[in-house]
Amino acid sequence: MNSVLNTDSIIVGVDVHKYGHTAVAVDCFGQGVGSLNFSNDLLSDFCSWMLTLSEKQNIVVALEDANGYGVFIVKKLTEEKFNFRYVPAILTERDRRRSTHHDKSDTKDAKRVAKVILTKYEETLPARESISTKLEIDTSTNFDLLLSERRDIVNWKSILKNQLHALLHQCFGDHYKDGYSKAFGKKSCLSFTKELKKKVKSNSNDFLAQSTLRRIDRLNLLTEQLKVIDKKIETISKDVIDVTLLTENIHGCGVSTAATIVSQIYTIKRFSSSAKFAKYAGIAPTEKSSGQRGRLYTSPFGNRILNKAIHRIALSQISGNGDPRGKLYYKKKLEEGKTKLWALRCLKRQLSNRVYQVLKNAN
């Protein structure tokens, strides 16, 4: 049993939903000792119920959904100073698949969440709210909201641009992009809008031109919103030391990328080593070995948003204007016989270690 747990430990697994939650408490042997259904309006009752099971220092709350509908539970547990940990959803899903009984219910799901703490404690993470300062929590939350919106806008813009390429081709033919450095820059959009309005004016039933105009208007709106968000992120970042350190010490790490890293980890104190940080980011490879044979595979797990942020830094470092050290390391791996993709993965691991070192030295 993990040294953090003892024979007096009570683990409370919570299955989180929008309007109601189910909690199941188990002892150190995995035997159920109680259950409770409650809502966000009855969080005080939930805390009182747990205190009837054992003393607060012996209770560990296991949460699977802490960023969505579980946000109110997290806030209450933080205020009441309960010990709680995050359980990756993949762990409970694996347990369900491997079970001889594939039954699914809120009570069974909550019990599975609790048992993960008993059997795979080292694969769970300490709740970031329990070891972060209020400033770190507020900053990360603000970054997360802005960056989530930013990602959505970028995706919507990509969809609109793909649609507009097809529509503009129908409106103006093969050479609609000729004369413009950017197909959807400010100059080109103004020109397209002007020509399309002429088409609509001469033929009020030209639905192709009307549909294209509406899409250009939406694209312009999204572009303006993206500028507002980027400016807001930059303003907040000026007062965040971790963002400043990352942008100043890691080539290719811009403000947006640094803010993404900060928003996903809250505080580097959650990770006791660079290896655990790399594992959390899904950058450390998965080992599969048997006897004399062993192979490493790319991990499909981990925090994919954090993984993508470090991936962007790696791509920037091996670009034409990238970091000489990054390009040299990448070239060295290629000369060792590794593929371009695997060499990039090796560089990502080095960058993951570097991110960990920069943030660890600052805390």
CATH number of domain containing 14: 3.30.420.10
Pairing of strands 293-297, 286-290: antiparallel
Residues 80 and 146 in one domain: no
Residue 340 has pLDDT above 60, yes or no: yes
Residue 38 has pLDDT above 50, yes or no: yes
Torsion 261-263-266-271 (CA) sign: negative
Helix runs in the chain, H state only: 43-51, 71-79, 89-98, 106-119, 128-131, 134-172, 186-202, 207-237, 241-249, 255-265, 274-280, 304-317, 324-335, 340-362
CA distance 34 to 28: 13
| Inter-residue contact 37 to 46 (CB < 8 Å) | no
**Can you tell me the mean pLDDT for 357-362?**
91
Residue 99 has pLDDT above 80, yes or no: no
Which own/partner contact pairs does 112-115 have at CB distance under 8 Å and 24+ positions apart? 112/13, 113/13, 113/14, 113/15, 113/62, 113/63, 113/64, 113/87, 114/11, 114/12, 114/13, 114/24, 114/25, 114/26, 114/62, 115/11, 115/13, 115/26, 115/30
Which residue has tokens 């290896």? 275
**Can you tell me the mean pLDDT for 229-252?**
95
Residues 154 and 228 in one domain: yes
> Structurally, how many domains does the chain consist of?
3
Give the domain range for residue 198: 135-237
**Can you tell me the mean pLDDT for 301-324?**
93
Residue 197 has pLDDT above 70, yes or no: yes
Residues 260 and 344 in one domain: yes
In a domain, 4, yes or no: no
CB atoms within 10 A of CB 208: 15
Quick one: pLDDT at residue 3?
A: 47
Domain boundary among 187, 209, 237: 237
**Bridge partners, residue 14, by sequence:** 23, 63
pLDDT in tens, 293-306: 767 777 878 889 99
Residues 180 and 268 in one domain: no
Domain boundary among 131, 158, 183: 131
Residues 26 and 92 in one domain: yes
Quick one: pLDDT at residue 132?
A: 63
CA distance 189 to 196: 10
DSSP designation for 284: S
pLDDT band at 94 (very low <50, low <70, confident <90, very high): confident
| Inter-residue contact 53 to 33 (CB < 8 Å) | yes
Domain boundary among 197, 212, 237: 237
CA distance 143 to 271: 20
In a domain, 274, yes or no: yes
Quick one: pLDDT at residue 1?
A: 42
Quick one: pLDDT at residue 66?
A: 58
Q: What DSSP letter does each residue of 206-262 carry, written as one string?
A: -HHHHHHHHHHHHHHHHHHHHHHHHHHHHHHHTT-HHHHHHHHHSTT--HHHHHHHH
CA distance 268 to 132: 9
CB atoms within 10 A of CB 248: 11
Coil, strand or helix at 84: strand
pLDDT in tens, 116-144: 898 888 777 776 666 666 777 788 889 98
Quick one: pLDDT at residue 86?
A: 86
**Bridge partners, residue 295, by sequence:** 288
**Can you tell me the mean pLDDT for 245-269?**
93
Residue 249 has pLDDT above 90, yes or no: yes
Residues 144 and 101 in one domain: no
Quick one: pLDDT at residue 101?
A: 67
In a domain, 3, yes or no: no
